[in-house]
């Protein structure tokens, strides 16, 4: 006995309602459960009775655990442990410290330069590690940061380096990072994995460029110097880091999108308010 379209839709709705998002696992579970229902109906049970029996054999929690385990094996994980999620926020925290000292109005020799270099270096290292490990989701912000950072500095002049804009010199850190990464993983598999994951979840594009958000905070507060800006900037970075953490920890796509959109908007609103207070 073959299920009709409405009955198949009910099974699909059950799976999606319980957090099954990946198309690969969704199709596999859908096919498997529908077969179980059809076999039960052939024994004389109604569709509703067969549906209940199938769902009892495959409870929602078990289905989700199987999906997460499968995606982990395929390097397609959608959520990560607390430890990994917190470690991924470290570059954001470093940016917060760097920008807070830069805008504090206090003169602390070398500390501003040191924190700035370390925070940027952390992102490029994260990009390199991401390539070596075929770009797990926690490395996506580093991709957006390194690309945007390089493009931004192509238009910047550094008097101590040269009088004209940096141009292609700004791509040097990116080229060095990719050269070292290719030494450890000399294949195009990371690029294929990257494309595959973005195709599966287009929200990853937004998450990728979310990595540039801490640097955007620095640009927004440029030429603003006051001690009271320290807690404001640090609070903004905490908000951005929380958005990153929730994106990596959440199992539902909707929650992941809401986390980074909300944290990004909150940070922007704070920056606009503080800018008006400072200049007016």
Question: What is residue 50's predicted lDDT score, i.e. its pLDDT?
Answer: 81
Q: Which of 37, 71, 105 is the last residue of a domain?
A: 71
Burial class (CB in 10 A: 0-12, 13-18, 19+), 253: middle
Question: What is residue 174's predicted lDDT score, i.e. its pLDDT?
Answer: 94
Q: Residues 37, 110: one domain? A: no
- The tally of domains found in the chain comes to 2
Q: Residues 84, 56: one domain? A: no
Comparing 103-112, 161-170, 226-235, which segment has the lowest mean pLDDT?
103-112
Q: Residues 223, 244: one domain? A: yes
User: From CA 243, how far away is CA 245, in angstroms rounded?
Assistant: 5
Q: Residues 40, 116: one domain? A: no
**Per residue in 202-238, pLDDT tens?**
889 999 999 998 888 877 887 787 888 888 888 999 9
Q: Which of 16, 43, 71 is the last residue of a domain?
A: 71
CA-CA-CA-CA torsion sign (94, 177, 80, 82): negative
User: What is the reported pTM?
Assistant: 0.77
Question: What is residue 110's predicted lDDT score, i.e. its pLDDT?
Answer: 74
Question: What is residue 123's predicted lDDT score, i.e. its pLDDT?
Answer: 93
Q: Residues 15, 148: one domain? A: no
Question: What is residue 183's predicted lDDT score, i.e. its pLDDT?
Answer: 94
Q: Residues 59, 197: one domain? A: no
Domain assignment of residue 103, given as a range: 80-279
Q: Residues 148, 50: one domain? A: no
Comparing 102-106, 139-143, 182-186, 229-233, which segment has the lowest mean pLDDT?
102-106
Q: Residues 225, 91: one domain? A: yes
**Per residue in 235-276, pLDDT tens?**
999 999 999 999 999 878 888 999 999 999 999 999 889 888
Q: Residues 154, 272: one domain? A: yes
Q: Residues 180, 67: one domain? A: no
**Per residue in 53-81, pLDDT tens?**
888 877 777 777 777 767 766 666 777 88
Q: Which of 17, 39, 71 is the last residue of a domain?
A: 71
Q: Residues 132, 222: one domain? A: yes
Q: Residues 179, 215: one domain? A: yes
Q: Between 227 and 171, where is the model more confident?
A: 171
Question: What is residue 190's predicted lDDT score, i.e. its pLDDT?
Answer: 92
């Amino acid at each position: 006995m073959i299920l009709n379209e409405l009955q198949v839709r009910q099974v699909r709705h059950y799976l999606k309602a319980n957090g099954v998002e990946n198309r690969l696992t969704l199709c596999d579970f859908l096919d498997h459960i529908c077969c179980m229902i059809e076999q039960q109906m052939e024994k004389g049970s109604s569709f509703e009775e067969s549906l209940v029996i199938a769902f009892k054999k495959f409870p929602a929690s078990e289905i989700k655990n199987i999906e997460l385990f499968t995606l982990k094996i395929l390097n397609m994980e959608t959520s990560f442990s607390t430890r990994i999620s917190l470690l991924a926020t470290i570059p954001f925290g470093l940016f917060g410290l760097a920008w807070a000292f830069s805008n504090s109005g206090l003169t602390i020799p070398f500390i501003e330069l040191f924190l700035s270099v370390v925070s940027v270096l952390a992102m490029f290292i994260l990009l390199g590690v991401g390539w070596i490990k075929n770009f797990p989701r926690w490395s996506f912000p580093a991709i957006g940061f390194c690309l945007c950072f390089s493009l931004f500095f192509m238009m910047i002049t550094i008097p101590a380096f040269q009088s004209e804009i940096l141009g292609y010199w700004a791509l040097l850190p990116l080229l060095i990072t990719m050269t070292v990464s290719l030494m450890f993983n000399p294949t195009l598999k990371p690029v294929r994995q990257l494309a595959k994951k973005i195709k599966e979840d287009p929200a990853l594009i937004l998450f990728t460029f979310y990595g540039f958000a801490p640097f955007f905070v620095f640009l927004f507060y440029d030429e603003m110097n006051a001690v009271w800006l320290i807690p404001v900037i640090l609070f903004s970075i905490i908000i951005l880091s929380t958005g990153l953490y929730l994106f990596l920890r959440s199992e539902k796509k909707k929650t992941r999108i809401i986390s980074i959109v909300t944290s990004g908007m909150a940070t922007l609103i704070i920056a606009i308010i503080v800018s008006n207070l400072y200049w007016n």
